[in-house]
Amino acid sequence: MSSKKILCLFLSILMLISLTVACGQNNTGNTSNDANTETTDSNNTTNNTNDANDSSDDVTETKTGDVTFTYWVPMHSQAVKILENYGENEIYKKLEEITGVKIEFLHPASGQETEQLNLMIASKDLPDIIESFSYTGGLDKAIEDNVIISLNDLMEHAPNYQKLRESHEDIAAETMTDNGNIAAFYCIQNVEEPPWLGGMIRKDYLDELGLDIPKTIADWENVLKAFKDKGIEVPLHYNIDSWQFTSSGLFVSAYGIGPEFYNDNGQVKFGPIEPGYKDFITLMAKWYEEGLLDQDFASRDGNNTESMILNGDIAAWAGAYESFDYYENLAKPNNPDFKLAPVPSPSLNEGETVEFRQKNYFNKGTTAVITTACENPEEAVKWFDYHYSDEGSMLFNWGIEGVSYEMVDGEPKFTDLMTNNPDGLSYITLAHKYKLHMGPYLRDYEAFVMTDTIYEAMDVWGEAGSAQVIPMITMTLEENKEYSSIMSDINTYIQENRIKFIMGIEPMENFDKFVEQIKSMNIERAIAIQQAALDRYMSRK
Amino acid sequence: MFKDKGNIYFSWFLSYILILIIPIVLILVSYMLSVSVIEKEINKTHAASLQQLNEMMESTFSDIQNLAIEVSWNDKSRSISRYSAQNLSSVQRLNIANFIKNLKTLKLANNDIDSLFIYYKYNDFVLSNNGMCHVKDYYNIYVESSGVVYEDWINMLNRSQQNKFMPYEAINNKGQLKQLIAYIRSLPFEKYTESDATLMILLDMDAVYSWLDEMDWLDKGNIYIIDSNNSVIISNNNASLPEEINFDVLNQREDSFHLTVDGQEVLVSHIHSKVTDWKYVVMMPTEVYLEKARFIRNVMIGSIFCCLLAGGILSWVFTNRNYQPIRQIVNTVGTITGNTPDNKYITYRDIEKTIDTMIEKDQFLQNRLEKQNKILQKHFINRLITGQISDPNYIQSTFENYNINLKSHLFAVLLFYIEDFSAFYNKNEEHFNADESIEMVRFIITNIVEELINSKESQGLMIEIEDMLVCLVNIDSADLDGDWISEVAHTAQLFMKDKFGIIISVSISSIVEDIENINSAYQEAIEAMEYKKFTIGEVPRVIKYDSIKGDSFNISNTARKEEKFINCIKAGNYEEAKDIFNSIIKNNFYKPSESVKLMKFQMYGLINILINAIREISATLGEKFIEETKPFERLLACEDVKEFQQVANSILEDMHSYADKEKQLEDKEDLKAAIIKYIHENYADMNLNVSSVAQHFDVSLPYISKYFKKHHGVNLLDFIHSVRIEKAKALMREGNYTVEEIAHKVGYYSSISFIRSFKKYEKITPGQYMNL
């Protein structure tokens, strides 16, 4: 064998070796087994097909190309019970099928929503879409600062949304900024939703005691006294520091004023410095002393409140309409007589109307913005627009036909999956998986497990007027700054001292001093700011 | 094929292959090193992660501890602890409400805090960041679902606690039942033995869990934080702690070690936290990182395989390459030597054998060449000595060719004739037959003579010419005196006789000059040797030519005597005739003083006389005389004078007896028997011959010969010979005697005569007969 032949043989063997080594390289790069796909940055979208942009009434989105958006939204507290990620929501899945647009949901850790939002904005590490967006200085500033984009020029791609906005002057106003920017997609209800918050009382107790639903303050006093005599530990649980008070204005509205800033025929007023407020506080103090008002209203643990309601230690409180079923379902097994009833906002005297209650704007919130990081805003707008179409609206409100709802006599009706869930989950929890409770879509407040009680509550609570409720005004950055600094001191002062009056620590004689003090803290300026904002709002219409 | 010991192919192949041990060993070593490196790295990673985890936890903990201090020093809390739950005043309630606000703020200040609460031992309430609760209510809402019994929970809270972190299961602020880490501390700080409240800060471990989730290598392994009671505070995948790992075990082992858990081998690394007295443990199945090593292992196996494959192929190739030529060589040599190894694969011994064979052959050839050379050389000398070559230049150059350096231009020739070697033959009968014996004798003589001559610093070259050894002597010119030559001859002669019992005669030529005269020297030596034929008396064994040169032509006149002789014969006076004849011989041949040639003439003369005599009286002797006695043949057969004398004498006797016996033709028949008997009785007598038989029976020789022949049909002489030979044959068949002994025993004078007669009658020599 010549040496050349040997060399050839040897080299070919060498090459074989290197081949096997190269193939084996595949083993080293062990791919990560992580299932965590959420924490990625915004992806790029590929080119999309040209969409026919009908101007007909019912515009439905057709499938586009392979588009992905990152969507930052805090998870609702009820949602965590059933979801890890909004991507698991059946309707979002369905939406992807329909529109072809993929959504990557990013959720901040609970309790850290604001921080994360600020962090994202500060580091310019923005996702394509942010829901529950807030910005110091307002949306106008956010546009100015190149954080989000103005949608005015893209409105041609959102015919449904446009249509909706134009359908009611308040809707238009509520969805526009002071500078005339359409900056976000909101949760819009084109029918004003009746109040979902109001007084709730143990009906069975009333029946037991032979009492009617209280309508006036005096009625209330009777009822509460009767409850007290019955032996109920806390006849009325009502925390003046809570949002329930601020929102419903229950009891205080009887005195013709609102709990804080309110609109008195175009003029902004501040409740605590109005005379009626003193009367209100006096009432509260009286009830506190008589043991009618929860002695621990300021300090009671919320969960404790719940359990006390359930075991009947609390007889009346202010709550939301979903609580009716919630409590009744929990309590009925042990206490079949347990029955709740809605209570209207009491007036001072019989026959009077109150003009303050929990009011729902057409814009229910959930500000969803498109950030400057989005590379395909047109597609995003189109995608959002679908939420306001009839189909999209149906999807978000009711879910998937056959799964979460069925058409009964031409009307959609939730299935047993939602109302009588085999896993025992309540509707309010399921609402986050099979429909969207709150979000940027055309919302139908009736797409809810509406029991008769709820309808009743709506009626009852809707009896009160809402003229005094200040509409969705916005302040400028400077106004906000000033306003915030004034009000923070005032609010602190009020919170610290109001309670003393109620609890009898401070005698009512000193209430005037209290009011004087407030006035001396530049409340007038704050009122003026609110006034200016209200005026601007009025001009938006 | 590999079983052959010393198989070259196999041993070469094996040596090449064994070299592969080096890379294979290196590969194995690298693999093991790699594995250990991987393990080390993994240990490092584990340790680093554990350290990081530890630091995360500890930084959180130190924050919490600070928080606790804040709470402890909050005077609202201190006053609240003295409140009585049943009888709270408004102011007190306000304080409580405000304190709750503080707690809310504290919770917001720290992201890790899920919730915090203070349990007041002597008051029936719990204050948390959510608000105020009766103790039982708090338990019902937040703790009951964890399965902890109310009494146990209360007992835990009632115990004095110093700065402790522990696992705690409860409803978190999202309403879920979760495993949390709780910090528990009795308040107030400075009076912990007499504490009136217990602070618990519940920590949300989601941040830690998500950090753990981010470490993908933990997918296959487990990380645990355990306390001294072996309760798992945190673990990824909610894994439970295997039995084999517990706090005490970890205390005893070093930072990282191997363990078998559920039949699987795992690598355990752990660190200890002083702050919390917890242990942070990572448990990873060794299989996982070995999987990473699997690639290396595969490469290793692949490499070893390729090594072996490539190495094997190359070894085979090279072995073949190296082996084939050797095989070729061995085969080629084998065909020459006729010794091809028959093994399929040759061994070293085969090669040795081949080489040995080659060397043998070579040497054999060398020997042959040498021998041939010697023979050619001798042949040349033969031709030189016998005068067949004469051209001096040719002779000179041939001498050079044979590497014979002539010392001078002086030469002499020595002749050696073996007279009697019977003694030697008898001695060495077992080893050599007669022919071989003669060879041996010649060999001995050659060696001795050449050695003797060489010792005198001359050169002697011995060759054989017919039955004589001829030595050409090239005399060292320094020594012109040739006496040493006869010295050598004498020495040799004596030596042969004494040592070996071999009788030799030596004749020496005179010293001649020039190469051309070598032949004449040879002739001189022959003449000198012939000389002994022509003397009756004692002949010396060593005869110098110079001494017999004799240039006298002194021939004694014998005419008168010759006349007298004839007359006696005619007269029938055989006795006197014999005397006359013998005296002639004696006078002419007794003294060796004349040249050989002359003596030859004289001899012929004598023969002539005798022949004349026979012719003269053949008529009277009868026809049978010449037939039966064959005188002429006998005369012609004589080789030397002595024999001639003998034969002549017997012829004369024959004549006598025939003459007598003629008269006594009517002899008694039993004379023949008597003769036969007499011969049979006296064959051994050397003196027995026809004439002694005639004498014995007192008849004339011719008569007895005629008579015997007539009556027995066989010549008496022949008969005597035949009897002797028969006896000799009988003796030879006995096998105990040498030829010479037998010769003497059966009455021959000399072994030569015996051999000659034997050959004559039997056609073969006694030696050959004995070999039959």
ipTM summary value = 0.72
User: Which residue from A6, A296, A500 is facing B132, i.e. has the nearest CB?
Assistant: A296
Phi, psi of A92 (to 5 degrees): -70, -35
Q: Give residue B203's pLDDT.
A: 87
Same domain? B457 vs B482: yes
Q: Give residue B627's pLDDT.
A: 80
Same domain? B565 vs B681: yes
Same domain? B686 vs B584: yes
- Maximal CA-CA distance, chain B: 213
CB B204 within 8 A of CB B114: yes
CB A295 within 8 A of CB A302: no
Q: Mutate which of B137, B142, B304 to test chain A, going by most A C-beta atoms within 10 A?
A: B137
Q: Mutate which of A4, A289, A301 to test chain B, going by most B C-beta atoms within 10 A?
A: A301
Dist CA B132 CA A297 (whole Å): 10
Q: Give residue A228's pLDDT.
A: 93
Task: Tell me, yes or no, whether B77 lies in a domain.
Answer: no
Dist CA B472 CA B410 (whole Å): 10
Residue at a domain's end among B495, B516, B548: B548
CB B627 within 8 A of CB B714: no
The type of residue at B106 is L
Distances (CA, A) of B246 to B227, B251, B451, B651: 9, 9, 109, 146
* B107 neighbourhood in chain A, CB within 8 Å: none
Inspect the interface and report whether the beta carbons of B291 and A302 lie closer than 8 Å. no
**Helix (H), strand (E) at residue A217:** helix A217-230
Same domain? B709 vs B563: yes
The more confident residue out of B682 and A426 is B682
In the predicted model, is pLDDT for residue A50 greater than 80? no
Domain count, chain B: 2
User: What dihedral angle (degrees, nearest 10) is formed by the CA atoms of A30, A35, A40, A42?
Assistant: 110
Same domain? B574 vs B629: yes
* A109 neighbourhood in chain B, CB within 8 Å: 206-207
What is the 8-class DSSP label of residue A188?
B
Q: Give residue B192's pLDDT.
A: 64
Dist CA A412 CA A409 (whole Å): 8
Residue at a domain's end among B548, B573, B605: B548
CA B712 to chain centre: 76
CB B167 within 8 A of CB B146: no
The more confident residue out of A502 and B578 is A502
Same domain? B522 vs B450: yes
Inspect the interface and report whether the beta carbons of B94 and A505 lie closer than 8 Å. yes
* A9 neighbourhood in chain B, CB within 8 Å: 313-314, 317
Q: Which residues of chain B have pLDDT under 70?
A: 1-6, 192, 216-219, 337, 339-344, 477-482, 536-537, 539, 549-557, 590-595, 619-623, 662-670
Domains of chain A: 67-192+362-441 (3.40.190.10), 197-358+465-540 (3.40.190.10)
Q: Tell me the pairing of strands A67-72 and A129-131.
A: parallel
Percent of chain A beyond pLDDT 90? 33
Q: Give residue B342's pLDDT.
A: 67
Task: Tell me, yes or no, whether B136 lies in a domain.
Answer: no
* Residue in the block written with tokens 């230049």: B393
In the predicted model, is pLDDT for residue A34 greater than 50? no
Task: Tell me, yes or no, whether B510 lies in a domain.
Answer: yes
Same domain? B621 vs B595: yes
In the predicted model, is pLDDT for residue A55 greater than 60? no
Tell me the nearest-neighbour CA distance from B379 into chain A, angstroms: 56
User: Which residue from B131, B174, B299 is facing A302, i.e. has the nearest CB?
Assistant: B131
Taken in order A347, A351, A356, A361, the sign of the CA dihedral is: positive
Number of helices (H), then strands (E), in chain A: 20, 12
Q: Which residue of B has its CA nearest to A82?
A: B176
Q: Give residue B590's pLDDT.
A: 65
Same domain? B521 vs B665: no
Same domain? B529 vs B564: no
Inspect the interface and report whether the beta carbons of A304 and B133 lie closer than 8 Å. yes
Inspect the interface and report whether the beta carbons of A505 and B309 lie closer than 8 Å. no
Q: Give residue A517's pLDDT.
A: 92
Cβ neighbours of residue B357 under 8 Å, at least 6 residues apart?
Answer: B333, B337, B339
* Residue in the block written with tokens 């005015």: A152
Q: Give residue A49's pLDDT.
A: 35
Cβ neighbours of residue A47 under 8 Å, at least 6 residues apart?
Answer: A65
In the predicted model, is pLDDT for residue A66 greater than 80? no
Inspect the interface and report whether the beta carbons of B295 and A503 lie closer than 8 Å. no
Q: Give residue B361's pLDDT.
A: 82
* Residue in the block written with tokens 């009517």: B666
Same domain? B613 vs B698: yes
Q: Which of A111-120, A477-486, B576-585 has the highest mean pLDDT?
A: A477-486
Q: Which residue of B has its CA nearest to A501?
A: B90
* B295 neighbourhood in chain A, CB within 8 Å: 24-25, 27-28
In the predicted model, is pLDDT for residue A198 greater than 80? yes
Across A50-64, A264-278, B13-27, least confident range: A50-64
Residue at a domain's end among B548, B583, B606: B548
Tens of pLDDT along A275-319? Answer: 999 999 999 999 999 999 998 888 888 888 888 898 888 999 999
User: Which residue from A1, A302, A499 is facing B320, i.e. has the nearest CB?
Assistant: A1
Q: Give residue B594's pLDDT.
A: 63
Tell me the nearest-neighbour CA distance from B133 into chain A, angstroms: 6
Q: Give residue B15's pLDDT.
A: 85
CB A427 within 8 A of CB A449: yes
Task: Tell me, yes or no, whether B317 lies in a domain.
Answer: no
The type of residue at B201 is I
Mean pLDDT over A320-336 rounds to 85
In the predicted model, is pLDDT for residue A440 greater than 50? yes
Task: Tell me, yes or no, whether B577 lies in a domain.
Answer: yes
SS3 B175: coil
Q: How confident is the model at residue A232 (pLDDT cuts 50, 70, 90)?
A: very high
Q: Give residue B536's pLDDT.
A: 67
In the predicted model, is pLDDT for residue A44 greater than 80? no
CATH at residue B501: 3.30.70.270
Tell me the nearest-neighbour CA distance from A247 into chain B, angstroms: 20
Burial group, residue A310, by CB count within 10 angstroms (0-12, 13-18, 19+): middle
Dist CA B667 CA B18 (whole Å): 111
Dist CA B161 CA B123 (whole Å): 18
**String of b and e for B568-597 (b: at least 16 CB within 10 Å)?**
bbeebebeebbebbeebbeebbeebebbbe
Tell me the nearest-neighbour CA distance from A505 into chain B, angstroms: 6
Q: Where are the alpha helices (DSSP H) in B481-558?
A: 483-495, 518-530, 545-548
Other CB atoms within 10 A of residue B106 CB: 18
Q: Which two tokens stand for residue B32?
A: 């093991």
Dist CA B51 CA B251 (whole Å): 17
* B219 neighbourhood in chain A, CB within 8 Å: 33-34
Same domain? B611 vs B697: yes
Inspect the interface and report whether the beta carbons of A296 and B90 lie closer than 8 Å. no
**Helix (H), strand (E) at residue B709:** helix B701-712
* A503 neighbourhood in chain B, CB within 8 Å: 90-91, 93-94
CB B84 within 8 A of CB B123: yes
Phi, psi of A270 (to 5 degrees): -115, 120
CB A449 within 8 A of CB A419: yes
Domain span including residue B422: 402-548
Using alpha carbons, select from B697, B711, B518, B746 the residue that is nearest to residue B628: B711
Same domain? B536 vs B614: no
* B88 neighbourhood in chain A, CB within 8 Å: 295
